[in-house]
Structures are given as C-alpha cells and as structure tokens.
Structure 1
Amino acid sequence: MKPIRADFKALFEAHADEFLADLRQVLRVPSVRGPQTYAAPFGIGPKRALETVLAIADRMGFRTGQVGNCVGWAEYGPDATQAPTYFGVLGHLDVVDVEDDWHYPPYDLTQVDDLLYGRGVLDNKGPLLSTLFALYLIKTQKIAFEQRVRIIFGTDEESGSQDIPIYLAEHAAPYAGFTPDCKFPAVYGERGLLDVQLALSITDGSDQQITTIEGQFAKSYLPDHAQLILADGTVRTYHGKKAPSNAPEMADNVLPKLVADASQLTGQTGQFYQWVTAKIGTQSTGENLGINYQDEASGALQLAFYGVSIEAHLLRVHLTCRYPISVTEDQLLTGIKAAMLPGMTLTVKRRYPSQVTDPTLPFIQQLSAIYAADTGLDGSPVTTTGVTYARALPNIIAFGPSFPGQKGIAHKGDEWLQFSDWQMMMQIYYDSLLAIGAGK
C-alpha cells in the first residue's frame, strides 16, 4: 500500500489526539442491544452511543438531528432547501456482546504499538467515526460543498437493522452512498444468506442418552468451546478456535467434534448425528449436501455450522449458507431437502437474497478510482460474503474498512484495527467525500 499522502498526514496529525479521545469515549459505551425502554427502542447502550456521537458532531459544528431515538446524522454542505438530495454514509454504533476471550478491556480503547483494541473499533465505531472525522477535516479548511453530505449513525445493524425503516419513514434515502462496514475496494455485490434449522423429532426415547449440550452458539460466529454431557455421567469437553460465520475456513469449529462423538449413540439419536457428521461435518462449502455452488464473481458457497441443541425430544442443528450471487435460495433449499433424513424438518430462520448494484455506476467508479489512487492497489469493484446496511438503505454499497488480506477480526475477542489503517481509511474517505461534495 502507498504511504499516507504528506498533505493529509499533516492535517490528520494535527487532530489525531482529539480523534483518539473521541473514539475512546464512544468505545467506552457498551452498546449491545438491550430491552426496549423509554426513549431507547433498542436499549440504553445503543441510545447512549448515539447521544455520545451526536454530541461530538455538535461540538464539531455540524448540522445534526435524530429520529426515533435510534438513528442520528451529521450534515455538511448546502441545506435541504438548496440541495434536496444528499450523498449518504451509513454505519452503526451497536456492537455484539463480549465473552471471556479478551486480553484487553473490551469497552475501552487500548493502543499497543500500531494496534488499537476494543469492541467496535473495527465493527463499526472506528470506521464510522473515521468518516465523520474526514468530513470534519474538510470542514476545518472551510471547503465549500455543492452537494449535501450526510453521515448517518444507526444503532441496530447487528440485530436486524430495524432502525432503518424508522429513519426512512421520515427521511428520503440518499441518491447514493456507502457503508464503511465491510471491506475495500467498493463492494457492488453481496451474497445471498440462508440461515436454516434442521431438526428431527425423536420417538424411540434415544435422546435420553444425552443430558444436555452446552455452549455459546450464536449465528455471528463459529464456536470455540462446547460440552456434551451424557446420561451415564460422561462429560466431553471440546475446545477450538472461534471465527466469524462469514469466514468458516478460519475456525477450528468444535461442533463437528461434538456430533462425531454423539454419532456413536444408539437409535434415532445416533442416526441423526451420523447424518450430520456425514453431510455437514467439517465441510465449509456444502458438497455433501449437494449445494457446493460457485461462480466467478463470488467464489464458492460458504457453509457455517454454528449451533446444536436438544429440547423436548427434538434434535436440532443450525447452519448459515452464504451463496454466490448467481444462485437462488430455491436451489439451496432443493439440494438440502433432497439430502435430508426421512422425518427431518427444515425451518428458515433468516433469509437475505443476493444484492447486486451495477458496478459501472459513476459513484462506484469514482470511489474505486480514489481507492486505487490512494493505496496503489487494484480498485476493481468486488463482491462480499457479508450482510451490511447496504441491504437496508436504498442506493448504497459497502466501501471499507478492511483492506485486502484482513479477515476474521470482528465478533470475537481482542477486536483490533491498525492505527495506520485507520489513518489510511480516513484519507480515502476524506478524498471520496471531498470529490463528491465539492466536485473536485
């Protein structure tokens, strides 16, 4: 990657301490979704994070506002009477919960050499604030904008993006924009996502061989520990390596080990887990389920085996499939159903069809060219396995923050962001917003 441009470096360094202090203040808010309460539809934490960021934007002199106590914004450029449409940047202030896999305080900013640690430093508080800070650097130079630019702060991306319909009920969508919550370069296509539960009702009593299955199973990551406790008193404990569900190849998933042991049990229970071992097991591309699709734009399907459970004579496994943009959900469902055991049921828990934006649109080409010029890297638009706010707000794509080769950082302990990368992404966003707002 090319070095930070000298003129931007000087501009950034004049405000770096201020920016780090603001980032620390926002990271210290544990903005995990909580129970709805008065004036906080997604809990106190996300609401406090929104108030904290809006106070920072107010101090910087931006026009600010909020809707529904869950979405806020900061604007620069002509007002709505002069520029009815706007370019939008949408990111989120809510974060996933923390576990006991941290070596640094999760709700704080810790800097060790070139690395910044803290929950949300990458996903997505650090990158979202970098866009606000980039716009502030433009503002400090008193550069006039012809186009209105609005930075939008959401608070429910990690739990289904229920905040964005509230925003759209009162405000028009941007004519174009991006979310800094994925990867560089510009992302024109997001794979489809299908989250399914496969279950078998046990009628022969063989499920009584299992007392319980314990572990922290969540759709956002593959688990690194679990226990299988059998009725005869046997306790089997499994340890592995956690990874985000959109990077299953990086995990040492404990679930294939657990179901392999459970497949030694008798009756329908053993048969179910034998099927899971044979058809899913350690695979991450779905070949034994007959769904190992791939295409040139997306690559191979990703299969994430993220959960198991037993309750009321019902054995269940949970899978997420992130499938290429040329494939349909019906193709996956047909393949999985053809491979299922007699009596097994399939329930769709989440579904997001593929989303594709024309990569030749002028604003995508503009962002791609700026990224290439600033980094010296290939700026050709790409696709992603992620599910971003680009699906929730019309006319936007994902753009940053992770650089090529960076993967599997979010949603686990010691979430990190390189300080030098934060500076580089801020330069990219500075140049992008400057080009769009001022027409430079």
Structure 2
Amino acid sequence: MDFRKLAEKYRDSYFKDLNTLVEIESTKDEAKADPAAGMPFGPGPRKALDTFLEMADRDGFKTENVDGYAGTVTLGQGEESVGILGHLDIVPLGDGWTKDPLKVTFDDGYVFGRGVLDDKGPTLAAYYAMKMIRDENLPLKRKIMLIAGTDEESGSACMKYYKKHGEIPTLGFTPDADFPVIYGEKGNMHVSLKSSDPTKIRYFKGGLRPNIVIGNAEAIVDVNDPKEELFDFYLKSNGLSGSISKEEDGVHISMEGVPAHGSTPYEGINAGTHLLNFIAEAYDDQLARDYYELLKDWKGKPVGIEKNGVFMSFLTMNPGIIEFKDGQAYALVDIRYPNDTTPEVIAKGFEETCQKLASDIVPTVEYAGDPLFVDPNSTLVTSLMNAYSKYTGDTFTPAITIGGGTYAKEFDQFVAFGPVKPNEEKTTDLFVGGCHQRDEGIKADDLLEAMAIYAEAIYSLAGE
C-alpha cells in the first residue's frame, strides 16, 4: 500500500477541513470557562472539539465527547488499541503576522495559520490516516483511537480529566513533536531555594518562568561604590552587557545575557547567576555567593546531582527565577533528569549541599514529574521508525530522547512522532514561524507526507 500516493487524493478535503479548524480561535479563556456547560476551557476549545467530532461523524466514525475536555474518534474493535493523542487548543495569536492567523494560507509551497503545525494540522493528518485505512477496508486486529484534547497548551488538564473518565489506549503516539521518534523524555523537577539571611541586596529580579534561561536581571545593592571599572571588566570577560549606577537608594545594576529554553541551558547565558556572582565578589556578599555556588553549573555538579544518562544524556539544571525582596531571597530551579537518577537522589543532593553552606538556604521540591521511556527496540518504536523511513528515505537519523516534554507523557507506552522532520531544508525566502511564533507554518507536502507516515505506522500496529 502506497499511502503517500493515496494521501494525494485527500489533499483538497484535508486542507478544507484544516481551514475550518484554523478559523476557530481555540485559545483557553478562563473568564468564559464553564465546566457544567461542557466548556471547561472556554468556548473556543469547545467549538474546535465540536467541529472536529462533527467531521468524524460526517465521515461515519464512532465519536464521543468527554464533557468538553477531550473527544475520541474510533475505528474497529478489540480489547487492545492503538492510540493517537493530539490537541485542538492553540496559544494566543500574538502580534506581527503577515498572514491571517485564523485562515489557512498557501504561499510558495508552505501553509500558514495558527495551529497548522501545533497541533491542528498534525492531528487532522492522523485523522485522515485513519480515514484512509477505513476507506480502503484494511483489516484490523486492534482498535484505533484518536483522542483530541483541548488544553495541551495550558497544562493538559484535559488529559488529567480524560484519564479518569475515558478509555486508555494500549500504546500509541502523539503527532505533536519531531520525526523520527522521540522515545524518551527526561523527568522534570522544580526545586525552590529560600532564605531570610542578611544580605546587601535590597532588591533582585531575574526571570519570569523556571523553564527559560534568565535573559536579563536587575538588582539594587545597599552600598555606595558602583565599582564601574570592575563591572565593565566582568561584562567583557563573560560576553554580557549591562549597566551600573549610583542612585539614592543604592547601586543599581542590570545585566543582559542570552535566553534559551530551560531544557538546554547551555545554549544561553544566565544573567541572573552572573549578577549574583558579581555582587558576591564585588561587594563580599555571602548570601549571594552561596546562591551562586548552588546555581552556577548547568549540570548540577556543585550540588552533587550530575548524571550522564545512558539514553537521555546529561541532567540539566536551570535557575529560571531569582528574586530578593523585603528581606526574603528566592530561587526556582528547573531540572531535567535522565531515567538513571531519581527525584529522591536530587532532593538529597540539594539538602546535603545546603547544610554545608555558610548561609541558611532551605531547598524544597515544588514539583516532580517522572521521565518517559519506551524501549527503543520495542515493536512500537521500530514500527514507527520503519514507517518514517519508508516515506522519507531517511535511514540514517536515529530515534531520539529530549529534555523537553510532550503529550506522550500522559499515557504509558506512548511516544512523540512528527511532524517536524530533522534537518529540514527551507525552500522559501518567506519567514516561516515555528510553534507559538508569528506566521506559524509548515510545508504543505510535509503534512501530506505525515498523513502517509501516520497511516503506515497505525496500520503496522493495528492491522492484521
């Protein structure tokens, strides 16, 4: 069966349906959320869910609306099932678009619109993969279930509800990441570090979210000497920019680093930790020095938690929020850990290290999420890899693990699978935005190719 050739026959109807979904501004709206009315995340996500299920009803599939939190489209029967987990909610439209974000626009081989990549386009491609299997009357030994969530972008409360009220697939994938296959995702922890010890720092602010490297930080230090020459030397030595000045309430200091995603802190320069380091040494501040010692290394070596995983590579540590205010110091650290270590080991490392400091800094585990790991030699992973290779010709790129997290963590024996291809070459001079960016886009043919890959993968797992 050549699913890629078959997918071409569905091109017009697929993009027509995609436009119908993209036209719906399915952003979470807490002000209008009404769980009792089946709108737990507002009218937009509910409308997108209703529309998607109406498409499936139109095409003769069995559907179910799980109280507005999620919907299912099923094909076939059996106790075992192959699941596809997608989502219909989107992030806010944002500014700067050169295309209409609520319309599918074709330009130079690409398709644009909010959700064409994340995740309406891939979810609909997986649905059309089911449709091809059904239309061709291919025999099945497992039931196929597509589950469409409505709150992936804001914490996946949709899946927490679904898992209590809906059927759980035996195995499957989420079409909301990268090809070829992501079989492992690091565990995620948030550790807070609090202290009320004396410090010369009157005010310190760096970062808004724990999973982003602090791009800029500012502080007010209760001293008279701005130490301008030393500050300039520090900036030049560390590739930073910033400013320092003497004001009535103390020395005002700001630093600018390079932001990056918290799962790859080595790709950024943390302005917050650098500012702590400068204050510690320039003004002999012990609390700043001890915070810096805890936070300075992205591998967590000073805390004794470093670990190079067999499958998932290094543990990473990102201090994404640092604040000093009203005599209280606070830092929130985002940790991505491989499945070779545990939250208990990491927590113990912080506790033992903090006990040895001159300052009284108290660590607390605020959150701990398990890693995802599926055997890369399993039938699930090898079947998906074979489907990917068949239609792309890529037999070189291996299955991978990542530090970020996807919808796949919601179920056991699930992996992330497409639609973004590795080392994809851009074939237009147009700006093509990625997930959450303006002018979000993807090659139109890549969505058709993903449809074929998904059909091949689903049938290899569910077919007789």
Give the TM-score of the pair, scaled to structure 1.
0.81
Secondary structure, counterpart of 1:244 in structure 2: coil
State the alpha-carbon separation in 1 of the partners of residues 98 and 334 from structure 2.
Answer: 29
| Residue 384 (structure 2) aligns with | 367
| Residue 273 (structure 1) aligns with | 288
Q: Which is further off, 111-120 or 60-69?
A: 111-120
State the alpha-carbon separation in 2 of the partners of residues 411 and 221 from structure 1.
Answer: 15
1:204-238 deviation per Cα after TM superposition (whole angstroms, max 9, x unaligned): 6x44x32x6376x2245445456557783776666
| Residue 233 (structure 2) aligns with | none
1:99-129 deviation per Cα after TM superposition (whole angstroms, max 9, x unaligned): 6686766555555534445544433333222
Secondary structure, counterpart of 1:90 in structure 2: strand
Distance 1:303 1:105, change over 3 A: farther
State the alpha-carbon separation in 1 of the partners of residues 268 and 11 from structure 2.
Answer: 35
The reply on whether 1:349 has 2:344 as its aligned counterpart is no
Q: Which is further off, 89-98 or 224-233?
A: 224-233
| Residue 169 (structure 1) aligns with | 164
The reply on whether 1:422 has 2:447 as its aligned counterpart is yes
Secondary structure, counterpart of 2:30 in structure 1: coil
Secondary structure, counterpart of 1:428 in structure 2: helix
Structure 1: which 5+ residue stretches go unaligned? none
State the alpha-carbon separation in 2 of the partners of residues 86 and 127 from structure 1.
Answer: 20
1:70-95 deviation per Cα after TM superposition (whole angstroms, max 9, x unaligned): 0101122x3xxx52432111122334
1:405-428 deviation per Cα after TM superposition (whole angstroms, max 9, x unaligned): 57x954555554343433332221
The reply on whether 1:337 has 2:351 as its aligned counterpart is yes
Equivalent of residue 305 in structure 2, options 291, 301, 325: 291
State the alpha-carbon separation in 1 of the partners of residues 271 and 99 from structure 2.
Answer: 25
State the alpha-carbon separation in 2 of the partners of residues 259 and 99 from structure 1.
Answer: 33
Q: Assess if the C-alpha contact under 8 Å between 1:369 and 1:379 holds in 2.
A: no
Q: Which is further off, 99-108 or 60-69?
A: 99-108
Distance 1:52 1:307, change over 3 A: farther
Q: Assess if the C-alpha contact under 8 Å between 1:65 and 1:74 holds in 2.
A: yes
| Residue 56 (structure 1) aligns with | 55
Secondary structure, counterpart of 1:31 in structure 2: coil
Q: Assess if the C-alpha contact under 8 Å between 1:30 and 1:107 holds in 2.
A: no
Instruction: Tell me the CA shift for residue 429 of structure 1.
Output: 0.3
One-letter code aligned to 2:295: I
| Residue 80 (structure 2) aligns with | 85
State the alpha-carbon separation in 1 of the partners of residues 321 and 67 from structure 2.
Answer: 34
The reply on whether 1:317 has 2:331 as its aligned counterpart is yes
Greater gyration radius: 2
| Residue 201 (structure 1) aligns with | 196
Distance 1:123 1:322, change over 3 A: farther
Q: Assess if the C-alpha contact under 8 Å between 1:106 and 1:414 holds in 2.
A: yes
The reply on whether 1:431 has 2:462 as its aligned counterpart is no
Structure 2: which 5+ residue stretches go unaligned? 223-246, 425-432
| Residue 205 (structure 2) aligns with | 213
Q: Assess if the C-alpha contact under 8 Å between 2:64 and 2:73 holds in 1.
A: yes
1:174-230 deviation per Cα after TM superposition (whole angstroms, max 9, x unaligned): 1221122333333333222112222222446x44x32x6376x22454454565577
| Residue 16 (structure 1) aligns with | 11
State the alpha-carbon separation in 1 of the partners of residues 185 and 196 from structure 2.
Answer: 35
Q: Assess if the C-alpha contact under 8 Å between 2:211 and 2:318 holds in 1.
A: no
State the alpha-carbon separation in 2 of the partners of residues 345 and 25 from structure 1.
Answer: 52
Q: Assess if the C-alpha contact under 8 Å between 2:46 and 2:150 holds in 1.
A: yes
State the alpha-carbon separation in 2 of the partners of residues 33 and 381 from structure 1.
Answer: 37
The reply on whether 1:34 has 2:34 as its aligned counterpart is no
Q: Assess if the C-alpha contact under 8 Å between 1:213 and 1:228 holds in 2.
A: yes
One-letter code aligned to 1:433: I
| Residue 175 (structure 2) aligns with | 180
Secondary structure, counterpart of 1:213 in structure 2: strand
State the alpha-carbon separation in 2 of the partners of residues 109 and 256 from structure 1.
Answer: 43
> RMSD value over aligned CA atoms?
3.5
Secondary structure, counterpart of 1:18 in structure 2: helix
Equivalent of residue 192 in structure 1, options 187, 191, 200: 187
State the alpha-carbon separation in 2 of the partners of residues 146 and 55 from structure 1.
Answer: 26
Secondary structure, counterpart of 1:169 in structure 2: helix
Q: Assess if the C-alpha contact under 8 Å between 1:34 and 1:44 holds in 2.
A: no
TM alignment of 1:126-275, pairs within 5 A: 126-203=121-198, 206-207=200-201, 209-210=202-203, 213=205, 217-222=208-213, 224=215, 228=219, 232=247, 242-251=259-268, 253-260=270-277, 263=280, 270-275=285-290
One-letter code aligned to 1:273: A
State the alpha-carbon separation in 2 of the partners of residues 152 and 279 from structure 1.
Answer: 42
State the alpha-carbon separation in 2 of the partners of residues 69 and 310 from structure 1.
Answer: 42
One-letter code aligned to 2:27: S
One-letter code aligned to 1:147: R
1:258-290 deviation per Cα after TM superposition (whole angstroms, max 9, x unaligned): 5456557858xx444334444434x43333433
Equivalent of residue 388 in structure 1, options 393, 406, 414: 406
Instruction: Tell me the CA shift for residue 149 of structure 1.
Output: 0.8
State the alpha-carbon separation in 1 of the partners of residues 212 and 156 from structure 2.
Answer: 18
1:17-75 deviation per Cα after TM superposition (whole angstroms, max 9, x unaligned): 43334334434424236354242223333323322322333333322111121010112
One-letter code aligned to 2:46: K
Q: Assess if the C-alpha contact under 8 Å between 1:27 and 1:109 holds in 2.
A: yes
Distance 1:390 1:9, change over 3 A: closer
1:324-364 deviation per Cα after TM superposition (whole angstroms, max 9, x unaligned): 11112222222233333431122222211223333443333
One-letter code aligned to 2:205: I
**Equivalent pairs, count:** 422
